[in-house]
Amino acid sequence: MKPGINNYSEIGKLNKVLLHRLGNEIEGLVPDNFERLLFDDIPYLKIAQQEHDRFAELLRENGGEVIYYADETAKALSTDEIRKAFVDDFVADSGIYSEEAQEAVRDYLLSMPSKKLVEKVIAGIKKDEVAVKNKGSLASYIASGYPYYTDPMPNLYFTRDPGACVGNGLNVHHMSTVARRREALLLRYMYRYNKDFAPEGTRLWYDYDQEYSIEGGDVLVLSKDIVAIGLSQRTTAGGIERFAENILKESSFQKILVFDIPKSRAFMHLDTVFTMVDYDKFTIHPEIEGPLQIYEITLSGDGKAHFESIQGELEDILSSELKLPAVELIRCGGDDPMAAQREQWNDGSNTLAIAPATVITYERNYVTNDLLEKKGIKVITMPSSELSRGRGGPRCMSCPVNRDDL
């Protein structure tokens, strides 16, 4: 295992992975804030934690080191100066109307040990937890019916999205929605101040304060030379271009393939409809199986980005780009349109490869799992009755930090 961040494929043996174990932020979900917090159901926390613990256990049983968001962020907050800067940044990004409330929230957080501070930032700060003498503004009075000063982060257990480890570097993403944007702030502090997570010399390909959005579910490392990115509901052309310019100039990667996928929740990220499970095998949602628009980004001789449009069948494009005689696309749900819809809703295409031809999937997607096994893939299943209510699968719930090179 190479030290630090090392991620040059989707299928190399997974050595180290960043997770978030669900906590009290889930208890902040109610029907009234579903739209605001991007949920459409409420996981039962106790069972969701048991399911997530099983996920972590499977990763460890297969040789992976599991690290957690709260632990790694707390390690980064190692001095009073860093703690204060983190709290200032968090408060500034939380949309608190009055200066009096901002100051009260700062004082409240800084009174806590670092681990508890991070857990509270994730769980959300309710108004009845903090005493504010003067509401300070008309806007504060109007907003006073809302129970939180700072919203909970229930989406954080999908650790794939706030950032991405690519090659020997890291993206800290500017996320598309206000509900998720502060999640990446935790990763930014990990990168800057936690040298166990990101040793000196770790490259930063994209940062939190960029103006264009990228999310990690759209980033797939196809090989040591090629990164695929989805142009999706959550990832913009501007963000892709900025990332491509940085990584192509400063790394061994030679090419970015941009997959233009439908801009809808069913196709939220590229990895909800397309994942790599072996050198020449991919899971796929049948609805993107036809001719697909792909853009290729390379560097020209003068060091500037060069763009080229590619159209064709996905199998042909992948086999050509990966220099393989052929690739195989394994349909989520097989040929049964009802099974495809049902299992896609429960993230049947969102597999996590932990080694070549070895994947973790949700056990409920039995049609797709059976197809994978018939194609020679070792399928390790996990329970998901509550985790799947958040609309994300094993790949969504994991941020690989270190894989073996192929």
Active-site residue flag, 396: yes
Structure-token match 């702030």, residue found: 185
Residue spans of alpha helices (H) in 178-328: 178-181, 183-193, 237-250, 314-321
148 token code pair: 């939180």
**Phi then psi for 182, rounded to 5 degrees?**
-70, -15
CB distance 390 to 154 below 8 Å: yes
Helix 366-374 and helix 337-345: axis angle, to 10°? Answer: 110
Tell me how far CA of residue 263 lies from CA of 64, 270, 283, in angstroms: 34, 11, 20
Among 165, 332, 396, 399, the active-site one is: 396
Tokens at 165, concatenated:
């480890």
Which residues on adjacent β-strands are paired with residue 291? none
Closest Cα to residue 12, out of 245, 355, 272, 301?
355
Q: Give bridge partners of residue 125 from the DSSP assignment.
A: 150
Alpha helices by DSSP H, listed for 235-389, are 237-250, 314-321, 337-345, 366-374
Q: Nearest CA to 56 among 70, 45, 66?
A: 66
CA 206/CA 361 separation, integer angstroms? 29
Give the strand pairing for 169-172 and 203-206. Answer: parallel
DSSP assignment letter at 96: -
- The answer to whether residues 226 and 321 touch, using CB atoms and an 8 Å cutoff, is yes
**Residue 241: which of 249, 160, 222, 233 has the closest Cα?**
249
Catalytic site positions: 396
